[in-house]
Amino acid sequence: MTDTAPLRLAIAGLGTVGAGVIKLLEVNRELVARRAGRPIEVVAISARDRSKDRGVDLSPYEWVDDMASLAAREDIDAVVELIGGSDGPALTLARQCLARGKTLVTANKAMLAHHGLELAREAERAGGALKYEAAVAGGVPVIKGLRDGAAANRITRVYGILNGTCNYILSTMEKEGRAFSDVLEEAQAKGFAEADPTFDIDGIDAAHKLAILASLAFGVEIDFPSVDITGIRHVLAADIREAAALGCRIRLVGMAEYAGDADGDGGSEIGLFQRVHPMLVPMDHPLAHVDGALNAVVAEGNFVGRLFFQGAGAGEGPTASAVVADVIDVARDETGPAFAMPAQWLQRCRKADAGARTGRVYLRFLVKDRPGVLAEITAATRDAGVSIESVIQRAETADGGVMVAIVTHPGALACIDDTLRRLGGSDSLIGEPVVMHILD
């Protein structure tokens, strides 16, 4: 390797991933330098708590208490932001770094989902770069795959399992027949779920990642507020058994499609569909076989066909690997627009009408055990124009109720919404109905 000036880094945020980045750079120092074409040198580090034991020797690195000051230092070429959070110190640091023409490497999907367009524009204006491979699917190189490997394709649909916590819970419920609350508690004890698991189990984390993927895949502005989100809190062990009887597995799937004119000229008919929901995934689909805390992403291109990415979606090693992969790109000067094209060319799209879509649906009710309830439900589906493929009734649920599940024939999803409206005031129902789409 020739004598080349090192790439000088600052690392802000020294949690699991930040400590993992330092470990990786130490253990693979020679290999990383040869692949980067020059040494990678950590100049400064910063975090909220200086006294915390992170399982790695931090003494070789300069500690900086004021994270924001890293942006102004002349001896730093790029900043690795691993603080987390959509706003606050992470966003302040990101804005200041990019405004000064420094490169920002981040794993912060929440910040990107809310502010990614602004940050991409600032990076282009000031001559820096915004890199975020670790923000989606951890160690799975899906960002590079879509931005670079599939760059010549029109991507029509991107979807996948984007949250390892939810996938661990659902696949464990499936294997062991246990209730959601029991498995969630176990996931927290094992470190797969946070003490406050809201972002994971309510689908928000997956929605952040989906909004980023949609922008990258379709060349549209990030639109996180338009993602329809339903989490997995209301999935019952009985739902999983019924899915298995139908030849399916339940997975939390984020799906985005870009519908409209084929030329992508920004016409009024363009719509962006984005949804994170539990879905019934047929056993012959590869997503049905993604177990545990793994992530997987499927992208469909008009020339390349179906691309499938799978791997560890979180954790110290996989996420640190993705962060350092971006750092190596920066050292090579292999940077470009954050979302595969200049930010000014990203299209602004209206939200697609989900009700105009068609598909099959698993519709589950918990109802009071009394005569006439099934007739009430089927009358509502009939009046709403829903065609029923099968009806399942099980007297084995909690709350003194009976489970009624309906599988529909393919039809307009607006009819499902109409069914729920018709049943909205019924005192026969216990709790809210659960709707799970069946992946085609």
Catalytic residues, by residue number, are 209
User: Measured in Å, how far apart are the chain's first and last C-alpha atoms?
Assistant: 51
* Two structure tokens written together for 274: 């984005």
Query: Which residue, chain included where needed, has tokens 């794993």?
Result: 107
**What is the length of the chain?**
440
**362: which 2 tokens?**
């698993």
Asked whether 230 and 207 are in contact (CB, 8 A), the reply is no
d(CA 36, CA 59): 25
- The strand ranges marked E within 162-247 are 228-229
Question: Given the DSSP bridges, would you call strands 155-161 and 294-301 parallel, antiparallel or unpaired?
Answer: antiparallel
Cβ(416)–Cβ(426) below 8 Å:
no
Residue corresponding to tokens 């809310």: 114
User: Of all residues in the chain, what percent are helix, strand and coil, respectively (each to 5)?
Assistant: 40, 25, 35
DSSP letters spanning 268-327:
TT-EEEEEEEEEEEETTSGGGG--TTEEEEEEEETTTEEEEEEEE-SSHHHHHHHHHHHH
Q: What phi and psi, each to the nearest 5 degrees, are found at residue 273?
A: -100, 125
State whether the Cα torsion 307-311-315-320 is positive or negative. Answer: negative
Q: Which of 286, 284, 423 is nearest to 364 (CA)?
A: 423
Residues 6+ apart with CB under 8 A from 407: 246, 360, 361, 362, 363, 388, 389, 390, 391, 392, 438
Residue 84 parent element (H or E): none
* Runs of H (alpha helix) within 352-403: 373-384
Compute, in degrees rounded to 10, the torsion defined by CA atoms 319, 159, 166, 434.
160
Rg (CA), the chain: 24
